[in-house]
């Protein structure tokens, strides 16, 4: 019998051990994901659409999370909440809701859905019970973007090219900013006056990314909102579009929310 023949059983045994270790490691990874929330529902804000999350989505999918981006009609708060609830209903388990800008008001209302276990606000409005985007903004100096909004005959607001370049997406490359300008979603001004019935952040854990260089929402308002809801918060040196200028940090905050809520 040759030396190689004598070692063959040993080699086979080693291969079996390695395969078993690989299977155990894979099972462990699946178990770790199972302990966290896997469904993330993104809610865009005014003058945007679901593609505003395009840089964050692949980062979260690479971590094994299931991601859906709502396409809000931006016709009224009630319509946008209804669109978000339809997306929540399609998920097969607990959901983390993520809202940007006016989308924060949407998730504040839609987040009362029993499937929702956590809320993440990205440079967002977060009105309380009986409050609106307009009412919570009044104590603060007007944001520069407000001077660059133009209404159409039906009361839908759009942002001027100057507003996009200087006040909405000022830290993004010009080419990217021009695409966002061309694809912006005109938004019914009346949506900003609609009041919240019950703020979900009163009873559900929240996370908040404050945009330190925001010219659409006063950063001081964002800080006050995060403090009021006792949110886990980070501050980014970002324009209003934090998820496009700092996608890695935003994705990490969302992943943290998914992991934390899944362990409770």
CATH code (residue 164): 3.40.50.1820
Phi-psi region of 249 (alpha: psi -120 to 50; beta: other; left: phi over 0): alpha
- Cβ neighbourhood burial of 154 (10 Å; 0-12, 13-18, 19+): exposed
Domain membership of residue 204 (yes or no) is yes
Domain membership of residue 214 (yes or no) is yes
Flag whether pLDDT at 42 surpasses 60: yes
Please report which confidence band the pLDDT of residue 36 belongs to, taking 50, 70 and 90 as the band edges. Answer: confident
Q: Residue 145: which domain range?
A: 38-262
The per-residue pLDDT for 263 is 54
- Coil, helix or strand for 235? strand
Domain membership of residue 248 (yes or no) is yes
Distance CA 112, CA 226 (A): 18
Domain membership of residue 205 (yes or no) is yes
Look at the chain and report how many structural domains it folds into: 1
Q: Tens of pLDDT along 111-161? A: 999 999 999 999 999 999 999 999 999 999 999 999 999 999 999 999 999
Domain membership of residue 81 (yes or no) is yes
pLDDT above 70 covers what percent of the chain? 86
Flag whether pLDDT at 180 surpasses 60: yes
Domain membership of residue 31 (yes or no) is no
Distance CA 172, CA 109 (A): 30
Domain membership of residue 4 (yes or no) is no
Please give the model's pTM, rounded to 2 decimal places.
Answer: 0.87
When the pLDDT of each residue in the chain is averaged and rounded to a whole number, the result is 90
Flag whether pLDDT at 217 surpasses 90: yes
Mean predicted confidence (pLDDT) in 72-81: 98
Flag whether pLDDT at 243 surpasses 90: yes
Domain membership of residue 126 (yes or no) is yes
């Amino acid at each position: 019998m040759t030396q190689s023949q004598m070692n063959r059983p040993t080699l086979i045994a080693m291969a079996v051990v390695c395969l078993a270790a690989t299977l155990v490691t894979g099972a462990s990874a699946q178990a770790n994901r199972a302990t966290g929330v896997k469904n993330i529902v993104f809610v865009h804000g005014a003058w945007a659409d679901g593609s505003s999350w395009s840089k964050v989505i692949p980062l979260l999918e690479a971590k094994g999370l299931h991601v859906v981006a709502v396409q809000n009609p931006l016709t009224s708060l009630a319509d946008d909440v209804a669109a978000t609830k339809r997306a929540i209903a399609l998920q097969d388990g607990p959901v983390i809701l993520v809202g940007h800008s006016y989308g924060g008001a949407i998730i504040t209302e839609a987040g009362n859905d029993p499937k929702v276990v956590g809320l993440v606000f990205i440079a967002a409005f977060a009105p309380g019970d009986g409050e609106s985007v307009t009412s919570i903004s009044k104590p603060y100096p007007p944001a520069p973007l407000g001077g660059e909004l133009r209404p159409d005959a039906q009361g839908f607001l759009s942002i001027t090219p100057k507003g996009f370049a200087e006040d909405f997406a000022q830290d993004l490359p010009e080419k990217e900013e021009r695409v966002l300008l061309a694809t912006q979603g005109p938004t019914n001004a009346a949506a900003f006056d609609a009041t919240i019935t019950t703020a979900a952040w009163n009873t559900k854990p929240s996370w908040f990314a404050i945009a330190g260089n925001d010219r659409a929402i006063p950063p001081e308002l964002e800080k006050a909102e995060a403090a009021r809801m006792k949110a886990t918060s980070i501050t980014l040196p970002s324009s209003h579009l934090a998820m496009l200028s700092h996608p890695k940090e935003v994705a990490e905050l969302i992943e943290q929310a998914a992991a934390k809520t899944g362990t409770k």
